[in-house]
Structure 1
């Protein structure tokens, strides 16, 4: 029973947050099987992330800024971005800006869910610890996904040089915020929780603004009600 409770606490936050952002799509919800597929791709990202991070740590050593921005945030955000760009960016189901947020949060939360499961399986996490992780790292991955998906959506539906700029920002911004998050964890030992809490509040404020703006750019919002029924 205890093992079941711990596993449930590890899995539930990612699924709950993904459901939340999936339901925030106001005009043209994505096929559920596609969202689940991308969520499961987040599971698969974990293995190459672990391999690259281990190799880079052996090669470059353990230095706070390098570890935070390069080995941790850099590897994780690049591989999530790589999956989205090569599998989702040109997919026919990516047909409105908000779709970028749905798929980016799916792959991010899939990754975060496996991280939680690994902590639980290794015996490092009690239920209380997993609840804290749901409020911080899992929520953090969700916000990095929102930011990545927002700019990927802008890139998808922009033309010319702006499209390339937004595509670059879809990697750079989540990388920066993730790196800052890790720097706080790696440098502060006593009062880190207050700085992380402030950072998470800021990220949620920015993220929810991006959710609203992405929805406002949907081409489906201009359809007449009778047209929406026929979708």
Structure 2
């Protein structure tokens, strides 16, 4: 082994004896961190959810205190609400990869590609080609089918393409956790576009329900993307049957479509569900996907550490 090795996390030059896990080398500080028992995935997830909920409640309270906004102030507030939740969730998911954090330029590239594809391809497919809003409101069955087979599949395909085209075949995609991180980042790119279009198309948003809606959308799209990313990583690093990735994609797309239907179509087409109730149902789906993803993040880290120690 050469003498020019550096820590895979901080880049510090290393001297023998080397701290190695698998193919990665670490400085003493980060080697101790990655080998430290990490029961905090659940705790960090709960703290993140509670903190985000408190921030949302604070914004809603301030909105009621300040009164209704109009014109440019409303639009600026809406744009901030569209972007900030995605950034908050991006930081959270990025920090969960403690073994070897992904390069920031790669994360940014996946995020931006997903955002651009969601606008250039996804939005046009849903709104202009299929014109879902013109016919999907006929009844609840048609509405749900359109949400899953068109909306859910489209947004999930965008996240899949962003990961598959940019990072899947690169050396940086070398553990299961990478699939989750890049998948959540791609999902957040989609969520950011959805939230931006929602704000721009409506000339702003009502802050109280708006902040909960955009935060929930960011959480949901990140979680669906992360679940799909885990499936991709499992397919890359283990022997899985041919149906593994298609099934994982189909499940993620179905959840994506169900979420879209609950927060959008249900209240929009008069199916007997009030806005706040539909938002609560959508949040329930998002939280279920999120906590499933937390369990997979913990499992992915444990598997990587176990395999690395066996190779020593």
Instruction: Answer yes or no: is the 8 Å Cα contact 1:156–1:163 preserved in 2.
Output: no
Aligned to 1:184: 262
Deviation, 1:219, is: 5.2
Give the counterpart of 1:27 among 86, 93, 99. Answer: 99
Higher relative contact order (CA 8 A, sep 6+): 1
In 2, are the aligned partners of 1:151 and 1:166 still within 8 Å (CA)? yes
Listed as ranges, the gaps of 5+ residues in structure 2 are: 1-71, 137-141
User: Who is 1:128 aligned against?
Assistant: 208
2:78 and 2:296 mapped to 1: Cα distance? 33
Aligned to 1:66: 145
Alignment of 1:171-210 (within 5 A): 171-185=249-263, 186-187=265-266, 188=271, 189-190=273-274, 191-210=277-296
The aligned residue for residue 18 of structure 1 is 90
Q: 1:220, 1:95 → 2: CA distance?
A: 15
- TM-score, normalising length: structure 1: 0.85
Distance change in 2, residues 1:6/1:180 (3 Å)? closer
Alpha carbons 2:76, 2:204 under 8 Å: kept: no
CA-CA distance at 1:132 after TM superposition: 1.1
1:222 aligns with 2:296: no
DSSP 3-state at the match of 2:243:
helix
1:169 matched residue in structure 2 = 247
The verdict on how the C-alpha distance between 1:33 and 1:223 changes in structure 2, with shifts beyond 3 A counting, is farther
Q: Give the structure 1 partner of residue 182 of structure 2.
A: 103
Partner of 1:52: 125
Q: 2:220 aligns with which of 140, 151, 157?
A: 140
Q: Is the 8 A contact 1:146 1:211 kept in 2?
A: no
Q: 1:14 to 1:28 in 2, by over 3 A?
A: same
Which residue, 159, 167, 180 being the options, matches 1:88?
A: 167
Cα displacement string for residues 37-69 of structure 1 (whole angstroms, at most 9, x for unaligned residues) = 1111111112201221121237x9423133211
**Does the aligned pair in 1 maintain the 2:110–2:186 contact within 8 Å?**
yes
Q: TM-score, normalised by structure 2?
A: 0.65
Query: Does the Cα contact within 8 Å between 2:213 and 2:279 map onto a contact in 1?
Result: no
String of CA shifts for 1:64-97, please: whole Å, max 9, x gaps: 1332112210111122212322332211110111
More divergent stretch after superposition (11-20 vs 117-126): 117-126
Counterpart of 1:36?
108
Deviations 1:196-221 (A, max 9, x none): 23323322221111111122222587
Cα RMSD after superposing both structures: 2.5
Q: Is 2:154 the partner of 1:154?
A: no
Number of corresponding residues: 222
Within 5 A, what are the aligned runs for 1:107-118? 107-118=186-197
Contact 1:27/1:221 (<8 A) preserved = no
